[in-house]
């Protein structure tokens, strides 16, 4: 069994690359999409079902798990992998984004952030050291540094001040991570839409030295073109022998564009959240199963899809279960959406190996619509 964390690139096309991240708990084929299991569960899915979609790694979250059921409790129960029944790799976000987006009355200082829980209003404190301690207790394979995430939009001065604090926290996070055999610690590049701040952040993180580098502070409302501009400026700054992770992204068209710009790892709630709300991703765009046009449709969502929703059921049945608020609707559509995302990643990996990424991306874009955005009925 491999006892260390390692990354190897197999093939490249321009900035895009495909390879493998090796961990003691298994290999992660890149580019990789990580289903979001924020609170120790991928909503509406069993662990074996998630694995069947093709996922190699899941994402969990420090903020949510520290509040409920608590990191120490999970550690006593055998760690996060045992607790949630997932034996593959797990990446845990440090909670910085959730403190910004969910927590109440947050107060940021040099030592950390004090806030009220969005669940019960209890007073909580999260520091770089505590964030890394929680992730160690959870037993996650890839642990993220704690960063400060300013809300969008923010001025350059606000982004610059936030960046400086995040870089100080990154150094403290890496020191608190210490040496953990087989586990990895990723830094997070911040800097908003400002290339010179992104450069400053990347240089500061590389000076510390991390096992991988994430690009944070995107997918918060800046738009796709701005996101791609940041990736164009940031990607070439990062070490080629370390994984690159774009946090919180995203739509299939975002993923294809980001892969072409050298990103290796992604996560997003979109496929699971959409599944719970009656939306299905297909090769031709999104389908809203609430629409009456599906009520008598005997066709599958996608005749070429291998998931149970497409293999065993009609659009008419899915429409019925969505309209009736049956739990199976969430289960089937989530399974389908995650399968769609994993098949997209597999297609990207194959296209890079074959040297045909441009053709693959063009084909996807033509199917989705000339704007590159997913269509909707």
Same domain, 252 and 292: no
pLDDT range class, residue 325, cuts 50, 70, 90: very high
pLDDT given for residue 367 in this prediction: 87
Give a yes or no: residue 273 inside a domain: no
Could you give the CA distance from residue 43 to residue 57 in angstroms, rounded to a whole number?
A: 15
Both 328 and 234 in a single domain?
A: no
- Measured CA to CA, the distance from residue 269 to residue 250 in angstroms comes to 8
Query: Per-residue b/e over 174-196, b at no fewer than 16 CB within 10 Å?
Result: bebbeebeebbbbbbbbbbbbee
- Of 250, 171, 173, nearest to 204 (Cα)? 171
Domain boundary among 268, 294, 323: 268
Judgement on whether residues 293 and 249 belong to the same structural domain of the protein: no
- 160: which residues sit within 8 A by CB, 6+ positions away? 194, 197
The answer to whether residue 377 is catalytic is: no
Average pLDDT of the segment spanning 53-71 = 97
Q: What is the β-pairing status of strands 285-288 and 279-282?
A: antiparallel
Same domain membership, residue 217 and residue 298: no
Q: Which of 141, 254, 264, 267 is catalytic?
A: 267
187 and 211 together in one domain: yes
Q: Answer yes or no: 241 catalytic.
A: no
2, part of any domain = no
**234 and 264 share a domain?**
yes
CA atoms within 13 A on the CB side of 256: 23
The pLDDT, as a whole number, for residue 39 is: 95
What backbone torsions phi and psi does residue 233 show, to the nearest 5 degrees?
Answer: -80, -30
Picking from 8, 56, 16, the residue whose alpha carbon sits closest to that of residue 350 is 16
Determine the Cα–Cα distance for residues 264 and 208; give it in Å rounded to an integer: 21
Q: What is the pLDDT of residue 329?
A: 98
Give me the percent of the chain exceeding a pLDDT of 70.
Answer: 97
pLDDT of 338 > 90? The answer is yes
The total number of structural domains in the chain stands at 2
Any domain includes 337: yes
| pLDDT-wise least confident of 95-104, 172-181, 187-196 | 95-104
pLDDT in tens, 254-278: 999 999 999 999 999 999 999 999 9
Q: Which of 181, 241, 184, 187 is nearest to 19 (CA)?
A: 241
Tell me: pLDDT of 242 over 90: yes
Higher pLDDT, 285 or 356: 356
- pLDDT: is 374 or 238 the higher one? 238
Same domain, 316 and 250: no
- Structural domain boundaries enclosing 156: 31-268
Q: Does 255 fall in a domain?
A: yes
16 inside domain: no
Of 233, 268, 303, which residue is a domain's last? Answer: 268
β-pairing verdict for 279-282 and 58-61: unpaired
Q: How far apart are CA 13 and CA 19, in angstroms?
A: 12
Indicate which residue of 93, 141, 147, 302 is catalytic. Answer: 93
Q: Report DSSP letters for 295-318, one per residue.
A: TT--S-S-TT--SHHHHH--HHHH
Q: Are residues 287 and 262 in the same domain?
A: no
- CB of 214 within 8 A of CB of 249? no
pLDDT of 372 > 50? The answer is no
Residue 374 pLDDT: 52
| Residue 17 maps to a domain | no
- Given 268, 296, 322, which residue is the final one in a domain? 268
Place of tokens 């669940």: 119
Task: Look at residue 370 in the predicted model and tell me its pLDDT.
Answer: 41
What pLDDT, on a 0 to 100 scale, did the predictor assign at position 309?
A: 98
Whether residues 257 and 297 fall in one domain: no
Task: Indicate whether 321 belongs to any domain.
Answer: yes
Phi, psi of 32 (to 5 degrees): -125, 140
CB 281, CB 374: distance < 8 Å: yes
In this structure, are strands 26-30 and 16-23 parallel, antiparallel, or unpaired? antiparallel
Q: What pLDDT does residue 2 have?
A: 60
pLDDT reading at 156 higher than 70:
yes
Q: Tell me, what's the pLDDT at 107?
A: 94
Are 112 and 189 part of one and the same domain?
Answer: yes
- Is residue 373 a part of any domain in this protein? no
Same domain, 37 and 183: yes
The tokens describing 277, both together, are 């709300």
Q: What is the pLDDT of residues 3-47, one digit of tens each?
A: 799 999 999 999 999 999 999 999 999 999 999 999 999 999 999
Q: Is the pLDDT of residue 76 over 50?
A: yes
Is there a single domain that holds both residue 323 and residue 298?
A: yes
E strand spans, the chain: 6-13, 16-23, 26-30, 32-34, 58-61, 90-93, 104-109, 112-116, 123-126, 142-144, 184-189, 212-215, 244-246, 265-267, 279-282, 285-288
**Residue 322 C-beta-side C-alpha neighbours within 13 Å:** 26
Domain with residue 264: its CATH number is: 3.20.20.105
């Amino acid at each position: 069994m491999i006892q260390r964390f390692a990354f190897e690139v197999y093939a490249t096309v321009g900035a895009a690359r495909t390879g493998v991240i090796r961990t003691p708990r298994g290999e992660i084929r890149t580019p990789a999409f990580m289903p979001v299991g924020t609170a120790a569960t991928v909503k509406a899915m069993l662990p074996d079902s998630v694995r069947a979609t093709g996922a190699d790694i899941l994402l969990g979250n420090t903020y949510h798990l520290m509040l409920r059921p608590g990191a120490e409790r999970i550690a006593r129960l055998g760690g996060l992998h045992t607790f949630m029944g997932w034996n593959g790799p797990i990446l845990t976000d440090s909670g910085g984004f959730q403190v910004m987006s969910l927590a109440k009355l947050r107060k940021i200082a040099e030592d950390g952030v004090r806030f009220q829980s969005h669940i019960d209003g209890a007073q909580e404190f999260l520091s770089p050291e505590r964030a890394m301690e929680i992730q160690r207790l959870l037993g996650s394979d890839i642990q993220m540094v704690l960063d400060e995430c300013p809300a969008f939009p923010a001025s350059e001065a606000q982004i610059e001040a936030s960046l400086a604090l995040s870089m100080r926290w990154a150094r403290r996070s890496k020191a608190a991570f210490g040496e953990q055999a087989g586990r990895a610690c990723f830094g997070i590049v911040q800097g908003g839409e400002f290339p010179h701040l992104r450069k400053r952040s990347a240089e500061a993180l590389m000076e510390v030295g991390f096992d991988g580098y994430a690009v944070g502070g995107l997918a918060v409302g800046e738009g796709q073109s701005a996101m791609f501009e940041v990736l164009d400026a940031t990607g070439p700054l990062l070490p080629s022998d370390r994984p690159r992770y774009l946090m919180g992204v995203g739509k299939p068209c975002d993923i294809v564009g980001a892969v072409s710009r050298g990103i290796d790892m992604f996560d997003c709630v979109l496929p699971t959240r959409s599944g719970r709300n009656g939306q299905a991703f297909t090769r031709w765009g999104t389908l809203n199963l609430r629409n009456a046009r599906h009520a008598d449709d005997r066709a599958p969502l996608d005749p070429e899809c291998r998931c149970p929703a497409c293999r065993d059921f009609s659009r008419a049945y899915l429409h019925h279960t969505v309209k009736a608020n049956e739990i199976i609707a969430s289960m089937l559509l989530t399974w389908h959406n995650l399968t769609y995302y994993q098949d997209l990643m597999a297609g990207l990996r194959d296209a890079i190996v074959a040297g045909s990424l441009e053709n693959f991306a063009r084909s996807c874009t033509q199917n989705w619509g000339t704007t590159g955005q997913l269509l909707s009925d």
